[in-house]
């Protein structure tokens, strides 16, 4: 359960009164999913909303970039939920001492075990997202890009071996190989950078929501495809799902296009993505406060994926 900041009913009622037409508070429940921010499902007597309070990894200075990106994508017809503006035109508020936004609620559920059909439509949705951001002027450097993984590995240090014996040396070696092979000449664009199944809402095989843009940044475009592959093509434990990875790539390729150079780079980009998520999960595993209402994610599920990509260099052929 990701609720780091408790919101009182009184503070929330007063907060909602800043907006025209959102109605009176009826209920607010902390949302179980997610690990980064505090999220509440808010019902009023007129509608349903998501209330997000931004926590540790979100720099408040980046919020205008994220919210402009949501508006840009929504304006181009993507199922992306914009933040709601108060009667003074402000989307970014302060609640219980945290930066906060009221976000449009989208219907749909996140699949936990994607089928090839789910993956094809989700891959196509990423392709449409990449098409829509082509004329988005905003920019934000990736604060969790390839140059940031070694400092993060060093900060985790030998505590990694408490998660699994030999884990520090394994990541150290894999990271050295990824750094040496990292491509520097592929197309760059704004990317989502975290389009896991839990950030895609679906009804049947249709995508009804793309959410959680709070790692979005400018980086290698095909890295977004690699991040999706690492998160969609395996079950939550890290066991590969038959036909899902290839369907994801086919959906993306049909909607946007994947060049031969991008496809050739996917093995190293996917191993990089494995290291990125292994390290942030490991950091959280070692440092999440005991009283935080959050279900930590398993770093070793990303070690299994890294092992799989090492053993299957043909995966993207």
Ligand X SMILES: Nc1ncnc2c1ncn2[C@@H]1O[C@H](COP(=O)(O)OP(=O)(O)O)[C@@H](O)[C@H]1O
Ligand Y SMILES: N[C@@H](CCOP(=O)(O)O)C(=O)O
Residues that bind ligand Y (CB under 6 A): 34-36, 194, 196, 198-199, 212, 277, 280-281, 297
Question: CA 229, 235, 237, 242 torsion: positive or negative?
Answer: negative
Residues between 42 and 101 with contacts to ligand X, criterion CB under 6 A: 50, 81
- Structure-token match 């508070």, residue found: 25
Interacting residue with ligand X among 3, 4, 34, 73 (CB under 6 A): 34
Stretch that binds ligand X, among 16-24, 103-111, 123-131, 278-286 (CB under 6 A): 103-111
Who contacts 157 (Cβ-Cβ below 8 Å, separation ≥6)?
168
b/e 78-112 (16+ beta carbons within 10 angstroms → b): bbbbbbbbbeeeebbbebeebbbbbbbeeebeebe
| Choice from 103, 228, 266, 273 touching ligand X (CB under 6 A) | 103
Nearest-angstrom CA–CA distance, 17 and 29: 19
Is the Cβ of residue 46 or residue 259 nearer to ligand X in the bound state? Answer: 46
196 binds, among ligand X, ligand Y, none (CB under 5 to 8 A by kind): ligand Y
Binding mask 182-211 for ligand X (x = CB under 6 A): ----------------xx---------x-x
CB of 196 to ligand Y, least distance (A): 5
- Closest by CA position to 312, among listed 256, 205, 240, 212: 240
Quick one: 197 or 245, whose CB is closer to ligand Y? 197
Shorter beta-carbon distance to ligand X: residue 80 or 249: 80
Beta carbon of residue 203, minimum distance to ligand Y (angstroms, whole number): 19
Which is nearer to ligand Y, 24 or 33 (by Cβ)?
A: 33
Q: Does position 262 bind ligand X by CB under 6 A?
A: no
Considering only 11, 27, 29, 33, the residue that binds ligand X (CB under 6 A) is: 33
For residues 70 and 83, the answer to whether their CB atoms sit within 8 Å is yes
Per CB under 6 A, the segment of 33-41, 132-140, 145-153, 167-175 that binds ligand X is 33-41
Which position's Cβ is nearest ligand X? 34
Q: SS3 sequence, 100-115?
A: EEEEECCCCECCCCCC
- Alpha-helix residue ranges (DSSP H) falling in the chain: 9-16, 63-75, 116-132, 146-156, 160-163, 167-181, 221-232, 244-255, 260-287, 300-311
Cβ 171 vs Cβ 279: under 8 Å = yes
């Amino acid at each position: 359960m990701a609720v780091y900041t408790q919101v009182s009913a009184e503070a929330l009622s007063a907060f909602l009164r800043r907006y025209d037409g959102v109605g009176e508070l009826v209920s607010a429940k902390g949302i179980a999913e997610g690990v980064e921010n505090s999220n509440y499902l808010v019902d009023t007597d007129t509608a349903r909303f998501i209330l997000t309070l931004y926590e540790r990894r979100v720099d408040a200075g980046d919020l205008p970039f994220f919210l402009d990106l949501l508006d840009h994508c929504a304006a181009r017809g993507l199922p992306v939920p914009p933040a709601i503006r108060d009667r003074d035109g402000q989307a970014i508020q302060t609640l219980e001492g945290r930066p906060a936004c009221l976000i449009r609620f989208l219907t749909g559920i996140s699949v936990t075990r994607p089928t090839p059909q789910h993956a094809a439509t989700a891959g196509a949705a990423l392709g449409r997202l990449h098409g829509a951001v082509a004329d988005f002027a905003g920019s934000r450097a990736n604060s969790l890009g390839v140059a940031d993984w070694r400092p993060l590995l060093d900060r985790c240090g030998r505590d990694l071996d408490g998660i699994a014996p030999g884990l520090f040396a394994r990541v150290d070696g894999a990271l050295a190989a990824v750094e040496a092979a990292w491509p520097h000449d592929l197309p760059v664009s704004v990317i989502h950078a975290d389009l896991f199944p839990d950030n895609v809402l679906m009804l049947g095989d249709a995508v009804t929501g793309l959410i959680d843009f709070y790692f979005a940044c400018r980086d290698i475009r095909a890295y977004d495809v690699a991040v999706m592959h690492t998160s969609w093509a395996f079950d939550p434990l890290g066991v590969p799902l038959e036909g899902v990875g290839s369907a994801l790539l086919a959906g993306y390729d049909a909607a946007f296009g994947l060049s031969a150079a991008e496809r050739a780079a996917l093995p190293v980009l996917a191993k990089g993505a494995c290291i990125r998520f292994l390290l942030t999960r490991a950091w959280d595993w070692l440092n999440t406060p005991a009283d935080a209402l959050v279900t930590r994610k398993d770093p070793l599920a990303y070690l299994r994926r890294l092992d799989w990509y090492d053993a299957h260099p043909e995966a993207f052929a």
